[in-house]
Amino acid sequence: MVVVLGVRMWQQRDIIAGAAPQLPGVVWNKQPTLVHFWATWCPVCRAEQSSIEALAKDYPNTVTVAMQSGSDAAIGKFMREQSLSFPVINDADGLISQAWGVHAVPASFIVDASGQIRFIEIGYTTGWGLRLRLWLAQF
């Protein structure tokens, strides 16, 4: 238990709190937003991607960030091969991840309607867990 907590603390050492940094093309609006960081090379992200795909279909305020996963073409190819259609921003140089303090993927942030980060999860998270957090962020 101590080892797991230690690893988790290390993974979250630079995670931001409070106001969410801007993302290209994203406006915090009337509903909570899921901002999900992932990578094509991450096996845990692959295990979670069907949950993110289903969530994005139900919650249009879902945006994902592909962290250091290559060119737009490479990410597009990965998305087609995996039959994924969720919105994705390419963070090829890692600057967006750095602004959010993300060192480990997957990482999920729930941002409320006013642009404040309400929940943060590092590592595998269930679709139901994310749905609950999106619902709670409305209040």
pLDDT by residue (tens digit) across 21-38?
A: 999 988 888 899 999 999
- pLDDT tens digits along 34-87: 999 999 999 999 999 999 999 999 999 999 999 999 999 999 999 999 999 999
Report the alpha-carbon distance of residue 82 to residue 79 in Å, rounded.
5
Sketch the domain layout of the chain as residue ranges.
2-136
C-alpha distances (whole Å) from 27 to each of 22, 44, 46, 79, 111 are 8, 28, 27, 24, 11
pTM beyond 0.85, yes or no: yes
Tell me the fold of 2-136.
Glutaredoxin (3.40.30)
- Separation between Cα atoms, residue 70 and residue 92, nearest integer Å: 6
Determine the Cα–Cα distance for residues 36 and 51; give it in Å rounded to an integer: 11
According to the 3-state scheme, what is the secondary structure of the chain? CHHHHHHHHHHCCCCCCEECCCCCCCCCCCCCEEEEEECCCCHHHHHHHHHHHHHHHHCCCEEEEEECCCCHHHHHHHHHHCCCCCCEEEECCCHHHHHHCCCCCCEEEEECCCCEEEEEEECCCCHHHHHHHHHHCCC
* pLDDT tens profile 78-134: 999 999 999 999 999 999 999 999 989 999 999 999 999 999 999 999 999 999 999
Residue 20, class by beta-carbon neighbours within 10 Å (0-12 exposed, 13-18 middle, 19+ buried)? Answer: buried
